[in-house]
Amino acid sequence: MKIEFHSTKAWPASGTWLIPLAAWPGKGKKLDGLLAQLEKASSGALSRHIALQDFRDGGSKLCEIALAGGKLPPRIVLVHVGEAAALDAGACERVGARALGQAKKTAEPLHLWLSELGGAPVKDDELAARMALGAQLARYRFTRYKTKATKKNDWQPQALHLHTAAATRAKSCFAGFAALADGVALARDLVNEPANVLSPPDFARRLRAALSPLGAEVKLFGEKQMRALKMHALLGVGLGSQHESHMVVMRWRGARARNKKPLVFVGKGVCFDTGGISLKPPGGMEAMKGDMGGAAAVSGLLYALARRKAAVDAIGVVGLVENMPDGKAQRPGDIVTSMSGQTIEILNTDAEGRLVLADLLWYAQKTWKPEFMIDLATLTGAIIMSLGQEYAGLFSNNDELAERLLAAGVRESELLWRMPLCKNFDKMIDSKNADMKNIGGGRNAGSSTAAQFLQRFANELPWAHLDIAGVAMGAPPTATNKSWGSGFGVKLLDGFVREFYESK
């Protein structure tokens, strides 16, 4: 979809005009701004339409008006978006998504007029760019396996025209958001792909093909290389699969100062999770094609940073495995030695994601000594029991890092809720037979004991763990996402990097 930004001076006479309003023009109220100009050009027809539709303050949310003649657009849609003071970044994106919904009703060009939203907390250029981002996110559909096209799935608007007094600056601002939208789309594609198409080697090759042309460094590690690194916790998960496990390291070197520590993002990439020997129940197992949502988010983030040439040194590390039952698969009771040298007793082979992350976290901190590490994983069903599908769980050993992530989550409408870590939870993963076990005390504090397990591989380095099991796949549809795979984490972390770490 083509996105264009225009000044408010030119009046296109064709197409549909969508005019978001912070305050209703209500019956009997004097019109001002753009509405006053339309009232004059229509010889009073606009106010008569408003009166006929009983367009009350706080009543109707949408008013469609048909005008004719001269320079007037044939169709005007007035949309109430609430108080201007509440029109934050997320609300702007939702307005853009609603605009896309209106575009479906007509084959005519759609013009989104933003001159009536003064007083919003975001600047004019970002307001327009965020609305365009919302439209881009909302248009995503995963239909590549549909052999029979339908109007609903086939429809794609050709262009969206945004009219703002800050057109030039908005166009520049949107360049970064367009890259972000493509990063989210990449993450959604990866989560939506079936596991027979996206095996660990396929995933690794796709990342190299997507990121290398953008100037990012992409290195693929196979099982032979990971055995040399003694990554036996990660490798143990994939023993039952016919597909080779992989680690992929993606690096974008955009920081202006070369002496800065890199930022490291780590993703769990279990391309399909049967539970292994500790086999999952069959009901709903098809959703386990999305158990690589953390790796998808990290991949989408690195794509977005490289695409928009972000002024930051960022590294993404993803572990790609398939957890299958087989004669070669690891068993409950097995003990493996992680890259750190710490031993792990496997009590449940379905607690596999933490084994993958353990070796990735250790590798990352020892290789780069980064500013921080943030891992993302569809790690526990327990987090869904705690937070539903509205929040991702945040665990961290560093208050400043946690607060920054929480703030970015609010701004980007990808919400986090901080969950506890404590010594008593840590004791729950002690093992009589090894340094630790891979599950804690049964059903109690499942998400926290999983995070405590990961913390043993982060040491004292600033670290945060995002358990995205409830939000990465199958979450309720939103204005900007109707897809099963949400791409959660890409917007959050892109905004987090942009606000707190990117060179200005």
* Cα separation values, 345 from 33, 299, 348, 349, 475, Å: 69, 30, 9, 10, 33
Catalytic residues: 280, 354
Question: Could you give the 3-state DSSP secondary structure of residue 5?
Answer: strand
* Ordered strands of the 463-467 beta sheet: 217-221, 246-253, 313-323, 263-273, 372-377, 463-467, 392-396, 416-418
DSSP class of residue 115 equals T
Distance between CA atoms of residues 418 and 391, nearest Å: 10
CA dihedral 181, 286, 289, 470 (to 10 degrees): 60
Q: How far, in Å, CA of 72 to CA of 140, rounded?
A: 32
Task: Give residues with Cβ within 8 angstroms of 45, minimum separation 6.
Answer: 39, 67
Contact 453, 473 (CB under 8 A): no
Q: Which of 43, 93, 15 is nearest to 412 (CA)?
A: 93
Cβ neighbours of residue 70 under 8 Å, at least 6 residues apart?
Answer: 13, 41
β-bridge pairing 343-345 and 372-377? unpaired
Mapping DSSP to helix (H, G, I), strand (E, B) and coil, where does residue 305 land? helix
Cα–Cα distance measured from residue 480 to residue 490, given in angstroms and rounded to the nearest whole number: 14
Q: Indicate the DSSP class of residue 423.
A: H
Per DSSP (E only), the strands in 213-338 are 217-221, 246-253, 263-273, 313-323, 335-337
